[in-house]
Structure 1
Amino acid sequence: MDEMTQLRELRADAPVPDRSALAPGRLRLTEAAASGRRARRLRADWRIASIGAAAAITVAAVLGTQIVDAAAPARSGPASSAGDLRLDSAAEVLNRAADALEEREAAPEPRDDQWIYTRTVMAQPETSGRVRFSYEPDSWVPYDNSAAAQNGKDDDYRTSRQIYRAADELPDDPAQLLDKVRSFYPTGHTEESPPEGRAQQSFRAMGLMVEAYPIAPDALARIYRALATVPGIHVTDHLVKDAAGREAIAITRKEDGRHEQREILLDPQDFGYAGMRFVVTKDYTYRIPAGRTKIPAQEFRAGQIVMSEARVEAAVVDAKGDKP
């Protein structure tokens, strides 16, 4: 059964959502819910991509109602195991995180016959009677997933083994490292996946590297030091909540030509990957271009969380179905 058929069945008899149906990463979410595939690119106009099927719109509706707590107090005091870390500068946070990671010993690289287990939470706010969907939060993927890498995965798909080894070979020099990572996750060249600016490609590609599991601590340290040099990055001056309700450090960059920012969330205790979010930065109305669809205009408000996911567990296991 192809993915679009699965999506249509998922949507069967569900009402059309009334607001917040289109948001960054909707295509990624619906593909993950339907088939376990993790679409990564998120470069084309997500508002158009998200309406490829009615199911995509319906599944997307459950995520759009979270709003950042505007009354949350700014927090620039201690936020981590580093004790005196202040959330004033993204470069300071990332370099301090790198310092901590360099003190840790790396576990052995997984064997090719082992599996990577992850458990992911996606935000599902109350929807006032609207349709909700379920998905399987537990995932097992072969460490050496070569067959999948060769069989129609999205352009940004890399196996865990490919990422681990590529990260291990990254140079110390931040500029050279960014060049390597951009080559590893190249920009697009089509209307559906248009070219990105250099800084935006760097932030997206580095986010994919940070999210990878497993990754050696010294490799992640080099990645953080290079990420600190990407133009336009910031750190939110207080801890935010991830999709699992945990406090996290948000390393952010506004998407070029958009009203949203992409956020890489880090655990404030061990500086590991905690999750990701897309957050609206400015109130706006999005109207579907003429001839595309009859979906009504969509209203977005500053602070609205339009996509949020958290990785709550990750481990190397010996077989599919095993848990730590």
Structure 2
Amino acid sequence: MDEMTRLRELRADAPVPDRTALAPGRKRLTDAITGRNRRTRVLRADWRVASLGAVVAITAAALVITQLVDAPAPRATAPATVTGDLDLSSPAAALGRAADYLDRQEAPPEPRADQWIYLRAVSGEPAQPTRKDGKGSGTSVVVDHGDPESWIPYDDKAAENDPGDTDHRTARESYEIAADLPEDPEALLAELRRIFPTGSGPDGPPEAKDEHSFRALSVLLESYPIPPDAQARVYRAMATVGGVEVTDHLIRDASGRQVIAVTRAYDRGDSRRELLIDPVDYSYAGERDVVTRTHEVPGPAGLAPMVYRRGDVLIDIARTRAAVVDTEGQKP
């Protein structure tokens, strides 16, 4: 029996993860998964501004994340046969290996227009800033306990006609965008920057080329489903983006699984975005936002400055299941 067959058998009964899109205020994680909002760009813009208003916005976005509980016990660790073979020495090595694996997979048929996308996710408890005087953040936050499962129509004509969010694409649109991407990494990145334009005005100043590329790639990878050969092209292109790194060890996501973290620091601010990838089948597994430098920010009037510490996790979302189903409410 060859190595890849053994790996597929090890993974045969495990859930398959995939897409989550960010949105201002984190209305609900299930809404974010559909890409119906703009939180990705709003969060990025917030980190660019060293002001009280930015701090409040970041704190609210980080702390009002929907707390979801996934029913089955999470996979605690990747199989030793997989972790022993991983090469996390560089983005080119890690993402190139992922792309090679995906290129060998048979593409399932595109979902029918009348089918639905089933998604399930879990989020971790976000870190709260502390006041420099040690008396707490002084912030009152209500955590919204939302539904851990969602069903999204594959072909959503009403959502396609929504002009309010230039990052939003329906599942069908995202599938077609991915399938049509060129092989050449530079051309692929240019196409995604065109499809997912950079911010302006209320969305913050325009992103630099590399930050824009990483964000556009991330938005697409959060979609489900994506043809495996298209996902392979996306990974190879991601490895060429300036500033992209890969953590040299597996990290634990919000569900307890060990996953690969592909990272890029925001050009302005003191945090980085982490795109999480399953080390077994290289599917999208979630995302994190992590503070990269301990720093103080002004507190509300009359209160001591608030402190964000290096390593604080502000956003921690793990997708634990994604599947195509025939009807809304059906579970795979």
The answer as to whether partners of 1:27 and 1:49 remain within 8 angstroms in 2 is no
SS of the residue 2:319 aligns to: strand
- Identity of counterpart residues, as a percentage? 45
Deviation, 1:193, is: 2.8
AA aligned opposite 1:320 = E
Deviation, 1:51, is: 4.2
Distance, in Å, in 1 between the alignment partners of 2:256 and 2:295 is 27
SS of the residue 2:197 aligns to: coil
The answer as to whether partners of 1:243 and 1:308 remain within 8 angstroms in 2 is yes
- The answer as to 2:287 corresponding to 1:276 is yes
Counterpart position of 1:11: none
- The answer as to 2:120 corresponding to 1:119 is yes
The answer as to whether partners of 1:178 and 1:226 remain within 8 angstroms in 2 is yes
SS of the residue 1:157 aligns to: coil
How many residue pairs get matched?
283
- The answer as to 2:106 corresponding to 1:105 is yes
Task: Give a deviation string over 1:190-222, Cα, whole Å, max 9, x none.
Answer: 143321011001111101112210000000000
Distance, in Å, in 1 between the alignment partners of 2:240 and 2:173 is 24
Deviation, 1:296, is: 6.2
Q: For residues 276-295 of structure 1, what are the structure 2 equivalents within 5 Å?
A: 276-287=287-298
The answer as to whether partners of 2:126 and 2:316 remain within 8 angstroms in 1 is no
Counterpart position of 1:40: 40
Deviation, 1:133, is: 3.2
Task: Give a deviation string over 1:72-104, Cα, whole Å, max 9, x none.
Answer: xxxxxx977485222111111001100000000
CA root-mean-square deviation: 3.3
Task: Give a deviation string over 1:223-253, Cα, whole Å, max 9, x none.
Answer: 0000000001111111111111110000001
Instruction: Tell me the TM-score normalized by structure 2.
Output: 0.76
Change in 2 beyond 3 A, CA 1:135/1:100 = same
Query: Which of 221, 226, 230 matches 2:237?
Result: 226
Gaps of at least 5 residues in structure 2 are 1-20, 69-78, 129-135
More relative contact order in 1 or in 2 (CA 8 Å, sep 6+)?
2
Deviation, 1:57, is: 8.0
Distance, in Å, in 1 between the alignment partners of 2:66 and 2:117 is 30
- The answer as to 2:152 corresponding to 1:141 is yes
Distance, in Å, in 1 between the alignment partners of 2:291 and 2:323 is 33
SS of the residue 2:290 aligns to: strand
Change in 2 beyond 3 A, CA 1:296/1:92 = same
Distance, in Å, in 2 between the alignment partners of 1:295 and 1:144 is 50
Deviation, 1:167, is: 0.6
Counterpart position of 1:68: none
Counterpart position of 1:160: 171
Q: For residues 178-197 of structure 1, what are the structure 2 equivalents within 5 Å?
A: 178-197=189-208
AA aligned opposite 2:105 = R
SS of the residue 1:104 aligns to: coil
AA aligned opposite 1:44 = A
Deviation, 1:151, is: 3.4
Gaps of at least 5 residues in structure 1 are 1-24, 64-77
Counterpart position of 1:9: none
Distance, in Å, in 2 between the alignment partners of 1:168 and 1:208 is 15
Counterpart position of 1:87: 88
Deviation, 1:125, is: 6.5
SS of the residue 1:44 aligns to: helix
Counterpart position of 2:306: 298
Distance, in Å, in 1 between the alignment partners of 2:67 and 2:158 is 33
Query: Which of 211, 219, 222 matches 2:222?
Result: 211
Counterpart position of 2:323: 315
Task: Give a deviation string over 1:22-79, Cα, whole Å, max 9, x none.
Answer: xxx995462225966553323321574674699768636989xxxxxxxxxxxxxx97
Distance, in Å, in 2 between the alignment partners of 1:52 and 1:115 is 33
Counterpart position of 2:249: 238
Distance, in Å, in 2 between the alignment partners of 1:188 and 1:44 is 8
The answer as to whether partners of 1:277 and 1:308 remain within 8 angstroms in 2 is yes
Q: Which moved more, 1:193-202 or 1:30-39?
A: 30-39
SS of the residue 1:96 aligns to: helix
Q: For residues 10-21 of structure 1, what are the structure 2 equivalents within 5 Å?
A: none
Distance, in Å, in 2 between the alignment partners of 1:149 and 1:294 is 47
- The answer as to 2:209 corresponding to 1:201 is no
Distance, in Å, in 2 between the alignment partners of 1:174 and 1:92 is 16
Task: Give a deviation string over 1:273-295, Cα, whole Å, max 9, x none.
Answer: 0000000111001226xxx9888
SS of the residue 2:216 aligns to: helix
The answer as to whether partners of 1:240 and 1:250 remain within 8 angstroms in 2 is yes
Distance, in Å, in 1 between the alignment partners of 2:236 and 2:62 is 38
Distance, in Å, in 1 between the alignment partners of 2:231 and 2:44 is 24
